[in-house]
Structure 1
Amino acid sequence: MKNIHVVLIPYPAQGHVIPLMEAARCFTSHGLKVTFVNTEFTHKRLMGACFEIDCPSDLMQMVSVPDGMEPCDDRNDIGKLTKTMFQLMPTKLEEIINDINKKNDEKITCIIADCYMGWVVRVARKMGIRLAVFCPSSAAVLAVTMSIQNLIDNEVINCTGIPSKNQMVQLSTSMPLMDPNNFLWACVGDSATNQIIFDFVILDGKEAAEAADHIICNSTMELEPAVFTLFPKMLPIGPLLATNGTTRQVGHFWNEDSTCLTWLDQQPVSTVIYVAFGSFTIFDQIQFEELALALEDTKKPFLWVVRPGISGSMDHVYPSGYVERVGNRGKMVSWAPQQEVLNHPSVACFMSHCGWNSTMEGVSNGVPFLCWPYFADQFFNRTYICDIWKTGVGLNKDETGIVTRREIKSKVEQLLSNAIIRKNALNLQEKVTDSVREGNPSNKNLNKFVDWVKDGNDLCLCE
């Protein structure tokens, strides 16, 4: 019996690769055959980080395409990466699909593309292949993209995406307030980079979302009910990390230091501050030292992920005598098995950049947040955490743009003494993890989506 064959293609960033890889694992468990397309640079990073995925080898294959950048180019230059990638990759994706279709009886019947790779819609149209869009961020962020014309008509932004009003807006009366200055494309980098993201990522993403047969989201009805009511085309199938029945994730760009789990085993229950800021956040030396000294001042055990490159091109430098002073109370690692860390009983809170992947992991493990967003959608995710779900508190910068050690220490103490936030986090955990259990909404939506991929029948949102 032939398997239905699909192509999955993420935006080449860790927070995009991980959830789509989890989706691929779900699809293969339902009998779909998956070809997962990364850029060559991302593919090498995955392989270098001891990549493994527990999918049947006959149902999952990894392939790669060039992104148009030179080997020495900086992939953190999001504007340049986006332009070169979007110019070259459509042709390369066509070549891969044609090659598969020539050599394989199980031809590609559907492309499932990251919503930030909207150019894929033109490949799907040209080749006559069905298209579904995958949203790795909050559904609300994609909802903003799908509301571009309304935002222009209402003069919230101009036709180039630049905010026209310095006031909070709502996409609907039941959705959270949003700051136009924090729309995804308005806070990625400098003005030139922001314009590239708007022109290439947002407008193409809007076209793809409108043209796609279906949109699947790594979210739940419980987390974003207003968005899924406003855009019923969106199907929440998350949290994907909770669907695999294990705590081991796939798709990391760095080798995980599992010694931190042994260290966590030695710490008392609900005492450890877990500090991790994802794959893009950069701190200058002053901010790095303030954070280091704040963690020391809390007198609490802490696990701190000090990622390679967290200080940009400079090597981070701990304050004089710091490592000796904190001793075994502090554990610094270059990368951590985050899902397993957040699932550990010794972890009391999560100091996070509020990327959606980290947000979903924290929520799924019932961990309260200390919110420190860096760019893009992270500011809105903080709004969800602090104002809507009430499962965390925000860290504020002073007049010089620094989050001071006093602010960090104060908010840590505030969070750890707040029983209501802890209760809210545990209640939300129960709701979202229940959603992916057999017969419940996210699980039903996933099953119905897979059925559509297999036979083309229409599907509807499970409430």
Structure 2
Amino acid sequence: MEKQQQKHDEVHHVLVLPFPIQGHINPMLQFSKRLASKGLKVTLVTTSKSMQPSASSIDFQSIDFQEGEATTNIDEFIRLYESLIPERLAQFIEKHQHRAKVLVYDSGMPWALEVAKRFGLQGASFFTQCWAVNAIFYHLKLGTLSMPSEEQIRTNAVVSLPSMPELEISDLPSTAYDKSGSYPALWNLMRSQFSNFQEADWTFCNTYDKLEHEIIKWLASKWPIKTIGPTIPSMYLDKRLKDDDDYGLHLFEPYTDLCIKWLNSKETGSVIYVAFGSIAGLTEQQMGELAMGLKSTNRHFLWVVRDTEQNKLPGNFIGETSEKGLLVSWSPQLDVLSHRAVGCFMTHCGWNSTLEALSLGVPMIAMPQWTDQPTNAKFVADVWEVGIRVKKDGNGIITKEEIQRCVREVMEGDRSLDIKRNSGKWKKLAIDAIDEGGSSDKNIEEFVAKITCN
């Protein structure tokens, strides 16, 4: 009897290893909740004691990585992580005798597949970015897209790729061509996602079929891929996981009561929500233009400004806008985006934030900074048509006049009705994808069935 129970646990057990930053942990944590809801035993392995999620359906275990907490430099962190964690993961699996069936790992850690195979586990690569971005890196890997020349970058040349809209160089992820930039280790990490992906048993991506249909169709003709998104808490989508109303992980303490009480006092669709994620930083000049732009719209705004960024604000800005604006260092973003008072979302277009806005039907003002954000912004404005993208002046600055223009166009201009209508369409399709019988739900069901049938 004990042997039968042990065999049952082995077959149904999945390990999940996310890259230890919030934007990568959140989607893999949500995927883990979906797997657990369908009967699998799921252990999420973290490598940061300061980021311990909470979810009663999942077992959380940590690998000691105290050295990584001593550096805030992205490149140093990545190099240290890749030098230490592969062997520590192997030691963890061997020590705990998990005998799991599958290791689901962040696609930026292709070495995890080798560790999985060493212990007889299947490997599942999990791409946290959209397939449009993944396809660009795939073409770079194949050589069907070359590194742009300085002349192409200067002239913002047009790039044509199968199944994709025409892209200008400025629409490409910065990490697709900026090898000599500030973060070479990050560049290498992005490119390494495709080093051995064809050897993985499963390939998952945090998107949904209808959102990127042509790209998915083209990529699926090359290798098996499965969409399993959008990976946001169930209570904001299909509502089938009754206790799943939060990611269960916050990098900073959100000002939930303050934000919601403030929003409750505002009219429907009247508030501009502004947030640029946990990493992106604006110059002091750009912060000043954005501040003056928001002020001059004469609209209510909720602006998330991290503590480390607040010294870049104009000295009298907070006092002069106290009747119109609320500034917080962090917010409960899902609660804010789903609030009736929010009329548009000014965003850096990180993929998680973009998916949240799409899933909740919120029009966007796209203000991308780096990495995958320019590509996401291109699709927001020109493919899904759920917002507009800001334009920089000749000095690379987004002026206060441009901020005013974008707010007017999204919230009251001629295009605003079409943008709102499209936002509602993609919201419905997001819910359909993850709901019972939807494309993402079927892909998750297929994975679970394959795990449990052996």
- TM normalised by structure 2 equals 0.88
Partner of 1:298: 297
Inter-partner Cα distance in structure 2 for 1:359 and 1:196: 25
Matching of residue 377 in structure 1 with residue 388 in structure 2: no
How far apart, in 2, do the equivalents of 1:163 and 1:38 lie? 40
Amino acid at match of 1:134: F
Aligned-residue Cα RMSD (Å) equals 2.3
User: In structure 2, what is the equivalent of residue 288 of structure 1?
Assistant: 287
Instruction: Name which of 142, 165, 186 aligns with 1:176.
Output: 165
Taking the aligned partners of 1:163 and 1:182, their CA distance within structure 2 comes to: 16
Q: Which among 93, 101, 108 is matched to residue 97 of structure 1?
A: 93
How many angstroms does 1:222 deviate by? 1.0
Deviation at 1:68, TM superposition (A): 4.8
- The match for 1:239 among 215, 230, 242 is 230
Task: Name the CA shift for 1:163/1:20 in 2 (closer, same or farther; >3 Å).
Answer: farther
For the residue of structure 2 that corresponds to 1:339, the secondary structure is helix
Query: Hey, what does 1:31 align to over in structure 2?
Result: 39
Distance 1:273 1:192 in 2: 33
The partner residue of 1:433 within 417, 420, 431 is 431
Could you list the per-position Cα deviations for residues 121-164 of structure 1 after superposition, in whole angstroms to 9, with x for gaps in the alignment? 221232221000111110122222333343x2x4x325xx9889
Query: Unmatched 5+ residue regions in structure 2?
Result: none
Q: 1:215–1:307: structure 2 CA closer, same or farther, 3 Å change rule? A: same
Find out whether 1:400 has 2:399 as its counterpart: no
Q: Which letter does structure 2 place at the counterpart of 1:10?
A: P
| CA distance 1:391–1:200, shift in 2 (3 Å) | closer
Mapped pair 1:252 → 2:250: yes
Corresponding position: 1:450 with 2:441: no
Equivalent in the alignment of 2:333: 338
* Alpha-carbon distance in structure 1 between the residues aligned to 2:150 and 2:278: 27
Question: Is 1:12 aligned with 2:20?
Answer: yes
CA drift at 1:442: 1.3
Whether the 8 Å CA contact 2:13–2:41 is kept in 1: the answer is yes
Q: CA deviation at 1:362?
A: 0.1
Q: Partners of 2:227 and 2:149 in 1: how far apart?
A: 30
Amino acid at match of 1:356: W
Bigger shift: residues 133-142 or 381-390 = 133-142
Query: Given the alignment of the two structures, is residue 125 of structure 1 paired with residue 117 of structure 2, yes or no?
Result: yes
In 2, the alpha carbon distance for the partners of 1:305 and 1:378 equals 18
Could you say if the C-alpha distance between residues 253 and 386 of structure 1 is closer, same or farther in structure 2, counting changes exceeding 3 Å? Answer: same
Asked if the contact 2:233/2:246 (under 8 Å) is kept, the reply is no
Q: Does 1:80 align with 2:84?
A: no
| 1:193-208 paired onto structure 2 within 5 Å | 193=182, 195-203=184-192, 205-208=193-196
Unpaired runs of at least 5, structure 1: 457-463
Decide whether the 8 Å contact of 1:307 with 1:335 is kept in 2.
yes
Distance 1:193 1:168 in 2: 25
Q: Distance in 2 between matches of 1:365 and 1:427?
A: 10
The CA distance in 1 between the partners of 2:19 and 2:393, in whole Å, is 34
CA–CA separation in structure 1 for the residues paired with 2:121 and 2:150: 36
Q: Distance in 2 between matches of 1:24 and 1:290?
A: 41
Cα offset, 1:296, TM superposition: 1.1
The count of aligned residue pairs is 429
Question: Relative to 1, partners in 2 of residues 1:189 and 1:305: Cα closer, same or farther, differing over 3 Å?
Answer: farther
Checking the alignment, whether the CA contact within 8 Å between 2:175 and 2:190 is kept in structure 1 is: no
Say if 1:289 and 1:319, in contact at 8 Å, map to a contact too: yes
Paired residue type of 1:87 = S
What corresponds to 2:383 in structure 1?
Answer: 388
> Which amino acid in structure 2 is aligned with residue 99 of structure 1?
K
**Structure 2 counterpart of 1:168, which letter?**
V
Identity %: 28
Letter in structure 2 aligned against 1:38 = T
Looking at structure 1, the residues matched to 99 and 431 of structure 2 have their Cα atoms a distance apart, in angstroms, of: 35
- The amino acid that maps onto 1:447 is E
**2:54 maps to which residue?**
52
In the alignment, is residue 319 of structure 1 matched against residue 317 of structure 2? no
The residue correspondences of 1:344-355 to structure 2 (distance < 5 A) are 344-355=339-350
Q: 1:189 to 1:164 in 2, by over 3 A?
A: closer
- Cα separation, 1, equivalents of 2:66 and 2:398: 36
After superposition, where does 1:135-150 map in structure 2 within 5 Å? 135-150=127-142
SS at match of 2:146: coil
TM-score, L = length of structure 1 = 0.87
SS at structure 1 position matched to 2:349: coil
- Which letter does structure 1 place at the counterpart of 2:430? V
CA distance in 1, matches of 2:347, 2:60: 33
* CA deviations over 1:327-355 (Å, ceiling 9, x no partner): 23211111111111111111000000001
Q: Give me the whole-angstrom Cα distance separating, in 2, the residues matched to 1:108 and 1:91.
A: 17
Q: CA deviation at 1:208?
A: 3.7
